[in-house]
Chains A and B, each alone.
Chain A
Amino acid sequence: MAKRDFDGLTTPHLRALYRKLVLLRRFEDRVYQLFLQGELAGTLHQYQGQEAVAVGVCDCLNSDDWITSTHRPHGHALAKGVSSRAAMAELYGKETGCCRGKGGSMHFGDPEVGMLPAIAIVGGGNTVVTGLGLAFKLRKTQQVAVCFFGDGATNEGAFHEGLNFAAVQQLPIVFVCENNLYGASTPYHQVSPVKDVAERAAAYRVPAQIVDGMDVLAVRRATAKAVEAARQGKGPTLLEFKTYRFTGHSRSDARGYRTKAEEAAWLSRDPIPGLGQALVKAGRLKEKDLAALEEEVNTELEDAVEFSRQSPDPTPAQAYEDVLI
């Protein structure tokens, strides 16, 4: 875990980070339950295990900084500031959802918190994000764009086109690769001759760093540096966070391609108890504080579920709105 002083972060800040990690985890757990109960339609790509990445990255961003996300966007959305009510209601397909029921699980987003509707085409965000960066550069704002993508996206042409253009134009972008070792069921090492995604950045002279994606403070440290460079006009950075999804790729995945031993090894590095225990050990928080935060999150999520259940459905006719202005 982190350095002894937790990077100089205040206890309230650390508590907020811990709470967010718990929120992302419990949100997904609750959603999974609701899905099995038949309350939610569609499919789910869940984020359990990767929470430290979304929470650590988004902790370094302002509300007017923007993120692009992927088919696995629940964690990114909650971390960037989409409320659990708006997120949950979107899964229920309700009018009160963050996309008013038009996006669903794979397109979570909200311009008000600086998040595009998540792009569920692998690598899709890697070119679109350059436009965000270009807009900030042309307008000379201090905004930064963050592109979340998985290891799978790095074998898409879009990854290379986006990274190259961002480098040539020195755009204020942080490319955040969540390397969870598998593109759906395919191991990364089987489809890439390069062991680390970060190595690919060298081809575009983009500074890159490999970071422990199970350690929220390590994520935060690396991101803060990359965001600062982007704000100062020093161009893009690629961060590769080594992480692991504790669930299958999607709802129907039985994970036969992973070993129990591998899963156990990563589970033992769960980012949530990792931070919680370190905070207790350092005397920053007590066990009962952690329990209270858990309780607080559970209450928030039950409220979100109740809110969603009681929210109005969109009218069928709303399907025809918002195609064009």
Chain B
Amino acid sequence: MSKKKQETAGERRLTIAEALREAIAEEMRRDESVFLIGEDIGVEGGFGGAFGVYLGLPEAFGHGRIIDTPISEKVIAGAATGAALMGMRPIADMQYSDFLFECMDELVNQAAKMRYMSGGKLSVPMVMRAPVGTTNRGAQHGQCPESYFVHVPGLKVVCVSDAYHAKGLLKSAVRDPNPVLIFEHKLLYGSKGRAMAGGIELTCHVPEEEYLFPIGKAVVKRPGEQVTVVATHISLYRCLAAAELLAGEGISCEVIDPLTLNPLDTETLWASVRKTGRLVIVHEDTLTGGWGAEVAARAADECLFSLEAPIKRVATADVPLPFAPIMEQEVVPTTEKIAAVIRGLFR
């Protein structure tokens, strides 16, 4: 009873890292075939994965189901694929999503295609978690490579931006019979209260009762009337800040977190675009060939006659990420840039 009361009061607030950890623990308890595999995830005296998501799990589940690999990304993805083909439910960890390029064959040629090549006789129920996000780490530790995978038939792609959806989506991903890639933003894990995250509130209400959040479902984070703004990860929060700013100028933004990039919840997106007549897509992934281009192309197909302005994209510039903070800020989508682009639609 008191627990219930606490929840309705919204007192149980978790960070994304805590929510992911809870999701993993619940799924491991529920299903013996769930196991973890990755680098530095269970080592005694280690750090519980690069962002601390696994802290405490080895104590609870032992090392048999938490498998520390060598620095062998091809093996992480290959072993997860192979084990999933045998009916296990691996949750694989890629320390930085930039390292996914090390195992493109395993993900793109094997995991994504095994079901198809077998004529539907096999399935690959694996999860691959990977942190993205620009964080003053230069060109090889800050990319947002989700668009590469959106391009691949046979993979599902999820981007989480808050604790509630992170937990619900990870649990759904574990139970999904398909390979699911989950991209999480490094500045949003919330474990260290990074100032770089720009003062974003990094906890949110997560009920104690078990719940799932469906893959393929977008959420409207802020209802509005005049422009639809679609964004993931930290860009989502910058869009929300921009929306707040623009509200003071009389511009009403509807901000949507797609959460799943493939399959895309076009129902929610197009309903919004048809209502507002304007669409802006924002991501920290680079511009050319980014998932925003796909959303824009589909919106042009589906909603052209509802549009009152050109579809706009705000994305990281087409350059490798520079280290110097002053240059990095120049190329990534900031609240100011997003606001300026939206404002431009109303001139």
Residue B81 CB within 8 A of the other chain: yes
The chain B residue sitting closest to A66, CB to CB, is B86
Output the least CB separation between B94 and chain A (Å). Answer: 14
Residue A168 CB within 8 A of the other chain: yes
B interface: dominant SS: mixed
Residue A129 CB within 8 A of the other chain: yes
Contact B67 A128 (CB under 8 A): no
Measured in the bound complex, the distance between the Cα atoms of B119 and A99 in whole Å is: 5
Give the chain A neighbours of B118 by CB distance below 8 A: 99, 102-103, 109-111, 116-117, 322
Contact A131 B178 (CB under 8 A): no
Give the chain A neighbours of B164 by CB distance below 8 A: none
Name A100's contact: one of B72, B110, B119 (CB within 8 Å).
Answer: B119
The chain A residue sitting closest to B86, CB to CB, is A135
Contact A325 B88 (CB under 8 A): no
Give the chain A neighbours of B35 by CB distance below 8 A: 138
Name B72's contact: one of A66, A110, A111, A164 (CB within 8 Å).
Answer: A164
Interface 1/0s, chain B 220-231, versus A by CB < 8 A?
000000000000
Among the 9-residue stretches B120-128, B190-198, B293-301, B308-316, the one with 4 or more Cβ atoms under 8 Å from chain A is B120-128
Contact B82 A124 (CB under 8 A): no
Given the known interface contacts A128-B106, A324-B154, the answer about A134 and B120 at a Cβ–Cβ threshold of 8 Å is no
Residue A132 CB within 8 A of the other chain: yes
Residue A321 CB within 8 A of the other chain: yes
Give the chain B neighbours of A119 by CB distance below 8 A: 109-110
Interface 1/0s, chain A 73-111, versus B by CB < 8 A?
000000000000000000000000111111100010111
Name B116's contact: one of A66, A102, A164 (CB within 8 Å).
Answer: A102
Residue B84 CB within 8 A of the other chain: yes
Contact B115 A323 (CB under 8 A): yes
Give the chain B neighbours of A111 by CB distance below 8 A: 118, 121-122
Contact B116 A165 (CB under 8 A): no
Residue A60 CB within 8 A of the other chain: no
Name A134's contact: one of B83, B110, B117, B122 (CB within 8 Å).
Answer: B83
Given the known interface contacts A134-B67, A322-B115, the answer about A162 and B75 at a Cβ–Cβ threshold of 8 Å is yes
Contact A132 B156 (CB under 8 A): no
Given the known interface contacts A124-B110, A162-B78, the answer about A116 and B116 at a Cβ–Cβ threshold of 8 Å is no
Name A102's contact: one of B80, B82, B117, B263 (CB within 8 Å).
Answer: B117
Given the known interface contacts A161-B74, A165-B69, the answer about A131 and B116 at a Cβ–Cβ threshold of 8 Å is no
Residue A158 CB within 8 A of the other chain: yes
Contact A161 B119 (CB under 8 A): no
The chain A residue sitting closest to B178, CB to CB, is A324
Further pairs besides A101-B119, A164-B72: 11, Cβ < 8 Å: A98-B119, A99-B118, A109-B117, A117-B122, A128-B78, A130-B79, A131-B79, A136-B86, A138-B64, A161-B78, A322-B118
Residues of A within 8 A of B (CB): 66, 97-103, 107, 109-112, 116-117, 119, 121, 124, 126-136, 138-139, 145, 157-158, 161-162, 164-165, 168-169, 321-325
